Structure 1
Amino acid sequence: MSDLSKRRLKLWIRLLGVTRGAENHLRDYLRREHGTTLPRFDVMAALWRRREGVTMSDLSRMLLVSNGNATAVVDRLEADGLARREAEDGDRRRIRVRLTADGFSKFEALAAGHEAAVDNLFAGLDERDLDMMREMLARAGRVHETS
């Protein structure tokens, strides 16, 4: 293994550590401050972005989770009055899910808190740091896309 290869491996381990640490912090924040979970937040965010609603299959693909996981979260959101399912074009086999008005309001409050928590996580980085990191990650992503 070359020195550069070892350094890349160490970078990968560092990226995983930062990502897991940030995710754990956000999970804890959402649980403590809002009594919710990160998967629930992610589903609400996807539905917020797609106001016209999405099929359950599309939701699963968007979130990179199984249909069963997405269904379980949507079941709880629906029970809480934050989302609703509707048959698409009268076809009961194709279900579209969307946020309710209460769901939109709840998500917007969650999103504001989530943004503040993320801002706090990366408060040690200035504008230049953020631009540099975004560029480096974009380059790393382009390398991955071509291989």
Structure 2
Amino acid sequence: MLGNGKSRSLKTTEIMEVAGNNIADLVEKNTLRKDDYEVNRPDTDDEFDLLQFNNKPETAKYRGFQMPAGFMAVASGLDKWGYQERKNKIAYTHLDVSASVGVKHMECTGTPTSLFISRYILPKVNSTKFPLEENPAKY
């Protein structure tokens, strides 16, 4: 799971990490960097398409699941709503679900579903406490 600057300032990933820890569904935190956006952009002004996959040689591989996160942000226009761009920022958090979507001859698992239930549904029924929300300075 990784977020842009606004998402990090809201501690979205940390809160989701606590939600995952509460139900033994661990979250791997990471960070979106400028180069994660740039690798998806066209090389020249004559090109219009974004790159959705890495077509670089093996010696120039980019950072794993950060490339799809950068692609989603650039393709949706969210890259224009970051810290440096505008007064009103939009938080963007990317959760890599590629391992759970299934491929040929494999079933989809819906793996992150329990994480979202732990974060957004269980607190409403008072069965999960989130220490990060109770005392954010501690975390």
Answer yes or no: same fold by TM over 0.5. no
Which structure carries more helix by proportion? Answer: 1
Give the number of the structure with larger relative contact order, counting CA–CA contacts within 8 Å between residues 6 or more apart: 2
TM-score range, shorter chain: under 0.3
- Relative to its length, the structure with more strand (as a share) is 1
Structure showing greater radius of gyration is: 1
